[in-house]
Structure 1
Amino acid sequence: MAYDHHPYNHNGCCPSFFVEGEEDGFFARAAMQRERDRHVAKIHQGALAEELSRQTAEEYQDDILDHMEHVESETMPDVNSMDIQTEIQWFMRPYLLDFLLEAHHAFKLLPETIFLAINLLDRYCSRRVVYKRHYQLVGCASLLIAAKYGDRKERVPAVRELRSMCCLLYDDDMFTQMEWHVLQTLDWVIGHPTVTSFLQIALAETAFDPEVEHMATYISEIAMFRKDFVSVRPSVMARSALALARCILARPQPIQSDWAAQYDPHVALNLSNILSQPSQVLYRKYSAVHLYSVSATIEGFLAQQAQIARLNAQPPATAEFPPLDVQQAPASQYLNPQTPQKVQYPVAPMGVLTPPITPDKDFSGNTGYGVSHGMPPRLNATPTPPPSAEHQRYYSDQQYGQSRRYLQ
């Protein structure tokens, strides 16, 4: 029996297992449709979860705010305790914060991580004596704890990376020991509502405006460098910085939420006074395009305000008054027999002239000068006749007798 070894059958099709038939194409299209439906269902499920989360957040918004404000009051540093540090001083703070900002930017950590790290650093310095040589080590340990607490796991810096950034000044085990010591000092209380957390709540009821949000964060980070703002609560700082950012960008102040509209005018004014003194590291960070170059925007705003102040400081054009012509009587008029005339003093266009100097005998209540200035009128003294010769001898004998008595 002969076999047909031709690779094609009588219908002209190749009976190969690698060629899909009609049934295989049907199952493939069905699988693709199921995958598409699963993806659409996942999107709908996410939108539904977000809507339920929003409704739940609105229902418990007041309770969440009360809890956050209570926690922030319990986790605030003490500036008075930081003042009595023996070695570290306040002028060292900007240098350490510049280093931490560079590390935070290099590891691409979340914005709230840097605020939490600074809070842990200040709280530790409020309870422990920190030596100058360990100040940077405490800052690195605080940044490491904050990154482990709220940031992504893949972005948490490694100890060897922090050691390299510190120029191999500390050993690996020193970072671990300092991290444990910071946690023990703070009683393992790490959670602290940061400025960014309150900013998100304040911006929840308004339209999305990333430029305002980035500028408010930039202003809050400028305040971290100053001692005056260490004791300001994050809730107050967030609302005050947000109000100042809206004022700079000419955005309307919202009135939808009572909590978001309540900012401290004193804190906002103090924040406006330090906008011209940002850190160079911070200025470069917020000059990026993805952060809307808010540092350059504030710099332009300050230049415009300075120009307006210079224009307002120029004295206005005033009319020139003619020189005063005081007529003085010639010296020969007192030699001629004539009635003396009172000298007429000119009236100044602005202000009050100093009253003329009068002799002591004439300075009495009849001038009216003392009365007009709230002083009682001075009465004229009654003239006393000179003593007689008999009274003079009597007074001289009395004085001589007293002097003899004192000498004995």
Structure 2
Amino acid sequence: MAYQHPQQPFQGYGYCNSYFVEAHDDDDGMFARAAAERERSRGVAKLRQKALAEDLSRTTADEYQEDILDHMERMEAETMPDLPSIEVQTEIQWYMRPYLLDFLLEAHYAFQLLPETLHLAVNLLDRYCSRRVVYKRHYQLVGCAALLISAKYGDRKERVPTIRELKSMCCSLYDDDMFTQMEWHVLQTLNWIVGHPTVTSFLDLALTEVAFDTELQHMSLYITELALYHKDFIPVRPSVMARSALALAKCILARPQSRYTDWSARYDSQVVLNLSNYLNQPSQALQRKYAAPHVSSVSSTIELFLQQQAMLAQRVVLAPAPEPIAMEMEPSVPINHYLTPQTPQKGGYPNILNGVLTPPITPDKDFCNQMAYGVNQGMLPRHCVPTPPSSAEHAHAMHYTGPHYIQQPQFVQPQFVQ
């Protein structure tokens, strides 16, 4: 067929100034209907493939569920911190822990990291403190390094904090190379074993045995993060903590407990009792975080629950007591003795002979001692948390009694780098 210029009409056809020909009215949208039918068929095929893949994944997961759970329980036993080793630290004290946890909690919230990232960071921090002697001026640096490692390990790449951002949050107290050096030193100390099964991993397994309940999930996460602030729960394994927190959350929300044959029903009653004793001692940062509607406002729910429990206890006290039985009884501990706030104390320990000091040398920066801790009202990390002094004349006045502290360290307002 000979080539004809597009401006010249073809034989037997009219003039056409375009290579695209529109359908005539008598076609009645035949080509459009055919294209829509093809798209619909592709969509149905994709949905079928997705459903088939989910069924196969669920079947495979059910087959290997026991093996996965055994591996996770074995790994959690190998990656647990040692509380007695942390107790012999000479500079860092237990009253410093809530300050550092508040800092990590707000940094974790500001960067929108996954829940398991926070729990893994605290695990790395405690494991490092179990093996190394940590100066109080390096305590926050170790926490930042642990958060950075955990974010790189399991979080999305675009949400991993940079050293520049962490330096700004720490009021430029540490140099850039100190973060890198401490990150390497933490990994070297832990033999590069980062894969610790967090409490959120076991909590996800436990939640698969119950109906989908967003409020129950948020309540369980709140209780597990509350446990991070207290040293009593450091030796508790994540699997036990997940089941105990879920059982307590069901009790608070009046949800039915799991059947005795379920894995989630094997919780520790003593851990549940200890968790319930700390419900009235939340950190302000944690309380603000879980007061938002997108996390079901579980902190407000707990406040209402505690008020109801206090009213019930008052009714029991006002009720007439039965006549005492005329018999000798041994003196017992008061019923509410376990509710008495206990301040964790550590006795004097001799100088540690076996231990390696943390390598970085912190510059002397005295400008982080001007403003009181906790002035920021939002959740953005607008403060740095220095480790408070532990001198003898201040130790008796600086004890942790819940969300408040008797005497608080001083710090400056950081300026974020745009």
Deviation of 1:43 after TM superposition, in Å, equals 2.4
2:288 to 271, 277, 284: 284
Compared CA separation, residues 29 and 271, structure 1 to 2 (3 A) = same
Compared CA separation, residues 13 and 189, structure 1 to 2 (3 A) = same
Tell me the alpha carbon deviations over residues 252-273 of structure 1, each in whole angstroms, 9 at most, x when there is no partner: 0121743211110000001000
User: Residues of 2 paired with 1:273 and 1:253: CA distance?
Assistant: 20
Matched to 2:22, the amino acid is E
Deviation of 1:33 after TM superposition, in Å, equals 4.3
Tell me, yes or no, if structure 1 residue 316 matches structure 2 residue 320: yes
2:262 to 241, 258, 266: 258
Compared CA separation, residues 133 and 306, structure 1 to 2 (3 A) = same
Tell me, yes or no, if structure 1 residue 271 matches structure 2 residue 275: yes
1:239 touches 1:262 (CA, 8 Å); kept in 2? Answer: yes
User: Residues of 1 paired with 2:21 and 2:146: CA distance?
Assistant: 62
Deviation of 1:153 after TM superposition, in Å, equals 1.0
Aligned residue number for residue 20 of structure 1:
22
Tell me, yes or no, if structure 1 residue 233 matches structure 2 residue 262: no
Aligned pairs for 1:339-358 (under 5 A) are: none
Aligned residue number for residue 250 of structure 2:
246
Deviation of 1:31 after TM superposition, in Å, equals 5.1
Aligned residue number for residue 182 of structure 2:
178
Tell me, yes or no, if structure 1 residue 85 matches structure 2 residue 89: yes
User: Residues of 1 paired with 2:208 and 2:167: CA distance?
Assistant: 40
User: Residues of 2 paired with 1:20 and 1:154: CA distance?
Assistant: 47
Give me the identity figure in percent: 70
2:209 touches 2:262 (CA, 8 Å); kept in 1? Answer: no
Deviation of 1:21 after TM superposition, in Å, equals 3.9
Matched to 1:230, the amino acid is I
Matched to 2:18, the amino acid is S
Aligned residue number for residue 301 of structure 1:
305
Structure having the higher Rg: 1
User: Residues of 2 paired with 1:268 and 1:104: CA distance?
Assistant: 26
Aligned residue number for residue 64 of structure 2:
60
2:280 touches 2:306 (CA, 8 Å); kept in 1? Answer: yes
* Corresponding residue SS for 2:282: coil
Matched to 1:93, the amino acid is R
Cα RMSD of the aligned pairs, angstroms, is 2.7
Aligned pairs for 1:5-404 (under 5 A) are: 15-17=17-19, 20-21=22-23, 30=34, 33-255=37-259, 257-316=261-320
2:260 touches 2:266 (CA, 8 Å); kept in 1? Answer: no
Compared CA separation, residues 350 and 262, structure 1 to 2 (3 A) = closer
* Corresponding residue SS for 1:60: helix
1:205 touches 1:257 (CA, 8 Å); kept in 2? Answer: no
Deviation of 1:240 after TM superposition, in Å, equals 0.5
* Corresponding residue SS for 1:190: coil
* Structure (1/2) with the larger helix percentage: 1
Matched to 2:43, the amino acid is H
User: Residues of 2 paired with 1:313 and 1:70: CA distance?
Assistant: 47
Tell me the alpha carbon deviations over residues 232-267 of structure 1, each in whole angstroms, 9 at most, x when there is no partner: 000000000100100111110121743211110000
Mean alpha-carbon deviation: is it higher for 247-256 or for 237-246? 247-256
Matched to 2:216, the amino acid is V
Matched to 2:299, the amino acid is S
- Structure 2 spans left out of the alignment, 5+ residues: 1-6, 328-418
Compared CA separation, residues 42 and 81, structure 1 to 2 (3 A) = same
**What TM-score comes out, normalization by structure 2 length?**
0.71
Tell me the alpha carbon deviations over residues 364-387 of structure 1, each in whole angstroms, 9 at most, x when there is no partner: xxxxxxxxxxxxxxxxxxxxxxxx
Mean alpha-carbon deviation: is it higher for 36-45 or for 127-136? 36-45
User: Residues of 2 paired with 1:256 and 1:84: CA distance?
Assistant: 40
User: Residues of 2 paired with 1:351 and 1:229: CA distance?
Assistant: 42
